[in-house]
Amino acid sequence: MANCAAFFDIDGTISREGLISEMFKKMIKYELIDDSKWYSEVEPAFIKWDKRLGDYDTYLQKMVDIYTDTVINTASFHIAYIAHKVIEQKGERVYTYSRDRIKWHKAQGHKVIAISGSPVELVREMSQKYGMDDYKGTIYQVGSNGVYNGEIIPMWDSASKRKAVLEMAQKHEIDLSASYAYGDTTGDFSMFKLVGNPIAINPTKELLGKVLEDDELKEKIHVIVERKDVTYRLNVKTLDLIW
């Protein structure tokens, strides 16, 4: 008998802050990344996003690029340790709605699966913290010497997430038509298309734009916005967007 599952993106969907940004800060603290890279490359993108003059994806990509360059020739145990500390210290800074939905799905006996573009070390720690059944994250491959070799299997893009969901569906005998997907960026669009119950949590403008162009998805998606201590459920078919 097929199972029902809930597929969760993590950064911006469960976690209120991007875990990769917390990872980045820790790597500066432990002197794996020179703090000049923050000031010269990441901070300008962050300031633009913070002032709503730039988009979050650009800010995130800057961190990902530097992270990718940094981990090459770094011993994997350093990254595993930092990932553990990030989740230990920041793992409870999550959206109330997402935390409650994870509890609800587990109570229903649904499989709860993380599909995240964050490094798999972070995704593993987060999935363990919330008792998830399985997970997929971006894999920075480690050579036989225990050091990252620069090879990457990404999980931040829509195509990779689609492949991951289909693999999980086969592995766990999941009925996708009865399943749920939670996400916030265009990378999660393919997950929404695959399941019967897509939920966009604090979605980006880019994601909403794609949703509004898809008549099939508009009929089944729910949009959740959590601000301060209030959670709103929006009807995307009557949504009046002010760009």
Domain count, the chain: 1
Q: Cα 133 to the chain's mean position, in Å?
A: 16
Residue 231 in any domain: the answer is yes
CATH of the domain at 128: 3.40.50.1000
Give the mean model confidence (pLDDT) for residues 182-190.
93
Residue 74 in any domain: the answer is yes
- pTM of the full predicted structure? 0.89
Q: How many CB atoms lie within 10 A of CB 214?
A: 13
Per residue in 39-86, pLDDT tens?
777 777 777 876 777 777 777 777 777 777 778 878 888 889 999 999
Residue 82 in any domain: the answer is yes
Name, in order, each residue with C-beta under 8 angstroms of 57's C-beta and a sequence gap of 6 or more.
185, 186, 204, 206
CA distance 97 to 215: 26
- pLDDT value of residue 147: 86
Q: Cα–Cα distances in Å, from 45 out to 42, 51, 52, 54?
A: 5, 10, 10, 7
pLDDT exceeds cutoff 80 at 149 = yes
Residue 243 in any domain: the answer is no
Phi-psi region of 146 (alpha: psi -120 to 50; beta: other; left: phi over 0): left
Cα angle, residue 64 at apex, residues 53 and 112 outer, rounded to 5°:
100
The amino acid occupying position 241 is: L
CA distance 121 to 116: 11
pLDDT exceeds cutoff 70 at 1 = no
Task: Categorize the per-residue pLDDT at 178 as very low, low, confident or very high, splitting at 50, 70 and 90.
Answer: very high
Per residue in 108-146, pLDDT tens?
999 999 999 889 999 999 999 999 999 999 998 888 888
CA-based max dimension of the chain: 56
Task: Categorize the per-residue pLDDT at 19 as very low, low, confident or very high, splitting at 50, 70 and 90.
Answer: confident
Give the mean model confidence (pLDDT) for residues 20-28.
81
CA distance 236 to 243: 15
Residue 188 in any domain: the answer is yes
Residue-range definition of the domain harbouring residue 155:
5-238
Give the mean model confidence (pLDDT) for residues 159-163.
94
Which tokens belong to 159? 């195509």
CA distance 103 to 80: 27
pLDDT exceeds cutoff 90 at 184 = yes
- pLDDT value of residue 43: 76
Per residue in 194-241, pLDDT tens?
999 999 999 988 898 899 899 899 999 999 999 888 999 988 877 766
- pLDDT value of residue 64: 76
